[in-house]
Structure 1
Amino acid sequence: MYPRLFLLGTILLLCTLTLPAQSGQVIYKLISTAERHATLDEAAKSLPPEQREGFKTSMKGMEAEYPQMRFELLYTPEYAQYRLIPYLPLGDELGHILAKSTTGANNVYYRNTQKQEKIMQVEQTGQRINVQMPYEEYEWVITEEERYIGQYACKKATAVVDYYEKARERQIYYEIEAWFTTEIPLPYGPKGLDGLPGLVLEAGVVGKPWSTFTIDSLAEGLSAEQEKDIRLKKGKTISKKEYDAYNEQQIKSRQ
């Protein structure tokens, strides 16, 4: 009897040790996996001469900000929230604004697996708005390609984003790439790049400079304060269609 009890206890202990983390915190950083298509001088040529130096200063300020930025994903099996960790700007104010704008850092991303709900929270005219996103936003294709990111074995998935932007009358088309690990079988990732059968440790737009988010650290468990912070704050709820229509109207009004 005792050997059987010992064996059962050993099995239970091993199972406990191999269970994936039920909650935790991932810190992501930005990396650039692509070169700029044009130099700052070339990009500034389309501007009036008096605006070129200011443009180059702001662009340099923006690129200087990227390596400083860190993003936090807090997760449990039921829900997760992703957002920028506040930090002090390096100097150029417009560069700081551009860095946040181009990385989605002004938004909070929330996913609830129980309610099958995905929210992008934005601030508009001083009001908090919860935009209802498609729960399965991306049609992921899981490839055979594998690699390790840190200690985690990861698989590569790709998806294509293709839509028509009415305000500017142009077709938008780009490819995104994500590396996820089934060792943590939770469907979360940075900046809403989620919905895969494992935690996304690295993801971004293929060929776009400074658009890739990669893991900087991962800690198991959440503090009481983090458990509170992970909850989605209240705000006005609108559909993705309503949000897109509002943005199109704003773009047209500036033209």
Structure 2
Amino acid sequence: MTARIRVLLVDDQSLIRIGFRLVLEAEPDIEVVGEAADGADAIAQATAVQPDVVLMDVRMPGVDGIAATDAIVQRHPGIRVLVLTTFDLDEYAFGAIRAGASGFLLKDAERHELVSAVRAVHRGDAVLAPRVTRALLDHVASLPAAASASASEASDDDPAADLTERERDVFLAIAQGLNNAEIAERLFLSESTVKTHVGRVLAKLQVRDRIHAVILAHRLGIAGTDDGSRVR
């Protein structure tokens, strides 16, 4: 039997945590392993229960979701953080993305959107609503390089220089918001082969996941998303 996805819920409103728990625990492949009401507790709980995915509210008293996200991804690289926000143009949510979150989800998302987002983040994809893709990229592009650059972005060298021709094709497809199935169809490859290529691309670029690959592609001027694209 496949292990269930272990989820940590972080929100300062108990009713929201209860609602998310009810939705997620109705799924046979998802298990809620802990809850936290603030960022400091989230950091402690992440260490204690080792979740696969953290559903992270960003606007909390004390240690906010940005600081908590940064601490969790730095200490536990295998844990994925999915940010919860009330507004789709939320500076806090953008900050959490820069801190290492794998995407963000609006709190008014439909039940199936929440479940799908948790599964997507767990398998290494990124989650970002289509209506926010352009806003996020424009926001990141407007920042000073030091504010949003990863180790690879900060380098004077082209971080994509070590990619093979096929890996460059995959990188371009990621930048355009395609998922593995769509990349496989475009490049006439199997999904398992695409998954392998995606892993190599992310490793060579030194980016955490697909959303950060899209941001890097945008900063490099590589053909990327348009207003109707999606990262998932």
The TM-score range, normalised by the shorter chain, is under 0.3
- TM-score, structure 2 length as denominator? 0.23
Larger strand proportion of the pair? 1
Higher helix fraction (1 or 2): 2
Under a length normalisation based on structure 1, what TM-score does the superposition of the two structures give? 0.22
Greater Cα radius of gyration, structure 1 or 2: 1
Structure number with greater CO (CA < 8 Å, separation at least 6) is: 1
